[in-house]
Amino acid sequence: MTNPAEVLGLPKPVWITEDVAMLYDMAHRFLVDEIAPHYDDYEKNEIVDRSAWEKAGAAGLLCASMPEEYGGAGGTFAHESAIIEAIGHVGVDGFGIGLHNAIVAPYILRYGSEEQKKKWLPRMASGELIGAIAMTEPGAGSDLQGVRTRAEKAGNQYRINGSKTFITNGQNANLIVVVTKTDPAKGAKGTSLIVVETDEVEGFQRGRNLDKIGLKANDTSELFFNDVAVPTANLLGAEEGQGFIQLMQQLPQERLMIGTTAIAMAERALAATIDYVKERQAFGQKIIDFQNTQFKLAELKTEITIGRTFYNDCVARHLAGGLDPATASMAKYWLSDLQGRVVDECLQLFGGYGYMNEYPIARMYRDARVQRIYGGTNEIMKLLIARSL
């Protein structure tokens, strides 16, 4: 098969150093050998087995960008990008490592105390703890200021009450960063992030593993907190009320990461389609010999090349500490839109076979759709970009 990582024929950016390239190869091999053979089962069961997480931990794929002293591999976002790209190129997009590594762990590294980092990060790196972040509620999605989950201080504990929905890794997760209100009267300034280790508490319940149109292998779930008591030491940050600022600081990386998934899947869709149209025949010739096919694929290759170049530049800026929120929002919105267009046009070139679940392009079509919705909808991204005008 045409290699998705090489389908554009672009030179590698400087941030793909030798060790980042080696990590990509290693992750790719691991995913092909250990995850892809079971992936249909994970889709059927609507969850990736815990054992897969533990194997990923043993292979060094969890917490790649966490410092070695906390059990990580001491890498950067470039290393996380390599792993997430490998997931997209192999086509096991429901395996929620990206969220665990590049969203949840960074909250603990950035805002956790020394004690919290030592307690949680090594166990996240081994796969003993699987991470989730619980922001969204039935009544608060785009407008996170409307979060109602309440954390009330009682002595040296917080008592948490509320419900969350659409939480990635929601059935597997046993370390959840929960967005709560510690002082509802203060609105955004009364928001705090509190870590719940679910194995250690009472009153925590997992709701439905939600029935989605795509990303079937991910256990996107409802979560309920009924008077869940956690030590006040589980607050992230030195004081209450920092939650909104912490979210705003971390969201650019989350948005860039959605761009990683988008560009990797677009490359995979293009590679798979090039292979297909070179084989399939109609009217006595190969599908690629029709000028329409050539023009469509030429357009897509051009657009993906533009997207990849922009993505590479965003990563370079992020690694240098200079990826501003507006540009991260552009990456999320534009690359996920691109992904949707590419997958749709590619599916068309497969004809009826593209609509059959046994063809990977069909799964890509289903999996791509949510990219324009989660991590802040693309409409919200445009609002954020507009603020920079």
Ligand X SMILES: Cc1cc2nc3c(=O)[nH]c(=O)nc-3n(C[C@H](O)[C@H](O)[C@H](O)COP(=O)(O)OP(=O)(O)OC[C@H]3O[C@@H](n4cnc5c(N)ncnc54)[C@H](O)[C@@H]3O)c2cc1C
Report the residue number, 153 or 382, with the smaller CB distance to ligand X: 382
Q: CA–CA separation, 350 vs 357, rounded Å?
A: 12
Shortest spacing between CB 257 and ligand X, in angstroms: 12
Closest-approach residue to ligand X (CB):
141
Which range, of 78-86, 190-198, 243-251, 372-380, touches ligand X by CB under 6 A?
Answer: 372-380
**Could you tell me the two tokens for 273?**
């389609």
Q: Is 329 a residue that touches ligand X (CB under 6 A)?
A: no
CB nearer to ligand X: give 161 or 377. Answer: 377
Q: Is 102 in the site for ligand X (CB under 6 A)?
A: no
Minimum CB–partner distance for residue 230 and ligand X (Å): 18
Interaction of residue 377 with ligand X, rule CB under 6 A:
yes
Which positions from 40 to 69 touch ligand X by CB under 6 A, shown as an x/- string?
A: ------------------------------
**Least distance CB 378 / ligand X (angstroms):** 7
**By the rule CB under 6 A, 166 interacts with ligand X:** yes
- 370 near ligand X, rule: CB under 6 A: yes
Measured from the CB atom, the residue of 163 and 377 that comes closer to ligand X is 377
Q: Which of 379, 386, 387, 388 binds ligand X (CB under 6 A)?
A: 379
Q: Does 178 bind ligand X (CB under 6 A)?
A: no
Annotated catalytic, 254? yes
Q: At its nearest, how many Å lie between ligand X and the CB of residue 287? A: 33
Q: Which of the ranges 44-52, 129-137, 302-310, 332-340 carries the binding residues for ligand X, by CB under 6 A?
A: 129-137
User: According to the binding rule CB under 6 A, does residue 220 interact with ligand X?
Assistant: yes
- Residue type, position 77, single letter: F
Tokens matching residue 88: 């997209």
The catalytic residue among 43, 137, 222, 254 is 254
Binding site for ligand X (CB under 6 A): 132-136, 141-142, 166-168, 212, 215, 220, 370, 373-377, 379-380, 383
Which residues does the annotation mark as catalytic?
Answer: 254
